[in-house]
Amino acid sequence: MINVRVASAADAETIQAIYAPVVLGSAISFEEVPPSVEDMRGRILATLETYPYLVAEQEGTVIGYAYASQHRARAAYRWAVDVTVYIAENARRKGVGRRLYETLLPMLKGMGYRSIYAGIALPNEGSVGLHERLGFRHIGTFPQVGYKHGAWHDVGYWLLEQGDRSVSPQEPTGFTDYLPERERRFTL
């Protein structure tokens, strides 16, 4: 059984261990040097001030994580977020990403976000398939936008639209304000 819960600073070491091989061995992440455990701890805490940061556990071990982040800095973008998901290598293609997103996406909708974007370094059939199965649609590709491991890489963008666009939106809720409501509405 896969359990999903809100991440904490104590998860930094495991999250860093999931992410570091992706940074070092692939172009899935455009970072070139893996963040330290302390850097990851800071990222988790900074994200949780405004956005959800979730981990998936199986038998008490963190096997994946997903989080939302700011899409762009200008004020009119505040109803849009970017989402990211990473799964431990030995847990891929077992429904972990789907389980994380099935928790994260309703949270984002409940917080008032209308546009959810996923940027995917290509090729990445697993990530593309996951996002498209969850309703994301491809909206474009930046060709050869990143250079890593001696090659140029494209990044595709996928969009999931949530909510009624015919009405003026209410201000999005920060995660710290949303958290008590989340505890009533979601079983993690």
Q: pLDDT tens across 134-179, in order? A: 999 999 999 999 999 999 999 999 999 998 777 788 899 999 888 7
**CATH fold for the domain made of 3-183:** Aminopeptidase (3.40.630)
Between CA 150 and CA 154, with CA 153 as vertex, the angle to 5 degrees is 170
The residue ranges of every structural domain in the chain are: 3-183
pLDDT given for residue 178 in this prediction: 85
Closest CA to 86 of 153, 20, 13: 20
- Give the chain's mean pLDDT: 93
**Half-sphere exposure (Cβ direction) of 17: Cα atoms closer than 13 Å:** 10
* CB neighbour burial string for 118-153, b if at least 16 within 10 angstroms, e if fewer: bebbbebeebbebbeebebeeeeeeeeeeebeeeeb
Count the residues in the chain. Answer: 188
- Whether pTM exceeds 0.85: yes
pLDDT given for residue 41 in this prediction: 97
pLDDT given for residue 187 in this prediction: 38
Provide the Cα torsion 8, 175, 31, 114; round to 10°: 150
pLDDT given for residue 181 in this prediction: 52
Tokens of 59: 């038998």
